Amino acid sequence: KQEVTQIPAALSVPEGENLVLNCSFTDSAIYNLQWFRQDPGKGLTSLLLIQSSQREQTSGRLNASLDKSSGRSTLYIAASQPGDSATYLCAVSGRDQGAQKLVFGQGTRLTINP
Amino acid sequence: DTEVTQTPKHLVMGMTNKKSLKCEQHMGHRAMYWYKQKAKKPPELMFVYSYEKLSINESVPSRFSPECPNSSLLNLHLHALQPEDSALYLCASSQGEGDQPQHFGDGTRLSIL
């Protein structure tokens, strides 16, 4: 059974710092990995999706990497801003549970201090 | 603004009421999803519709009844809910199979009295 873990559970950094969020998964037979952000009381916003054949994806100040063999992904946020404060979730779809079923990590609650 | 629209944003109902949650998308997506999210927890998949047919039911109690009237609309009919069903209910859509990103609405905050 696929399990997804995110470390740390919470992170607080001053504005302007570069930071890395971590995601690990137990079954490397995945179709893709997706990073989301969730603001309090809101839905999920898709940030990046990495297909299993890809190593990384970039969007603006965000860069996500995927190492399928080791079961790890990282989300790199450059030059952090207070507006980046949110909960960040990673999710994988895999051959075991089916392409449409996402298995989520518990999330990292990020706070950027002005 | 989200491209997946959910109504209502908030709903308070008694355990004997019948209500419905609605979800709409106009992105031409052919897969639509219902998730349940409890406070400080990740979303949990409930149902998946692909091409207007129910493809996944995650052993959800029958007091939750999904419906997909057409490719743009998804409903969740609620009846005889329990207090533990209070949660944020999220709808999502994707172009088709699992290699495309899922796009989420802002959810309906449901409270059962």
Chain A interface, best mutation among B102, B106, B108, B110, by max A CB count within 10 A? B102
| Residue B93 burial class via C-beta count within 10 angstroms: exposed 0-12, middle 13-18, buried 19 and up | buried
Cβ neighbours of A53 in B, within 8 Å: none
Q: Quick one: residue B30, left, alpha or beta (phi over 0 = left, psi -120 to 50 = alpha)?
A: alpha
> What is the C-alpha to C-alpha distance for residues B68 and A10, in angstroms, rounded to an integer?
38
Instruction: Give the closest residue to B35 by CA, choosing from B94, B95, B104.
Output: B104
**What's the pLDDT at A23?**
98
Q: What is the pLDDT of residues A54-98, one digit of tens each?
A: 999 999 999 999 999 999 999 999 999 999 999 999 999 887 777
Considering only alpha carbons, which residue of chain A is nearest residue B3? A45
- Which tokens sit at B96? 């088709």
Q: Quick one: residue A98, left, alpha or beta (phi over 0 = left, psi -120 to 50 = alpha)?
A: left
> If pLDDT is split at 50, 70 and 90, which confidence band does B2 have?
low
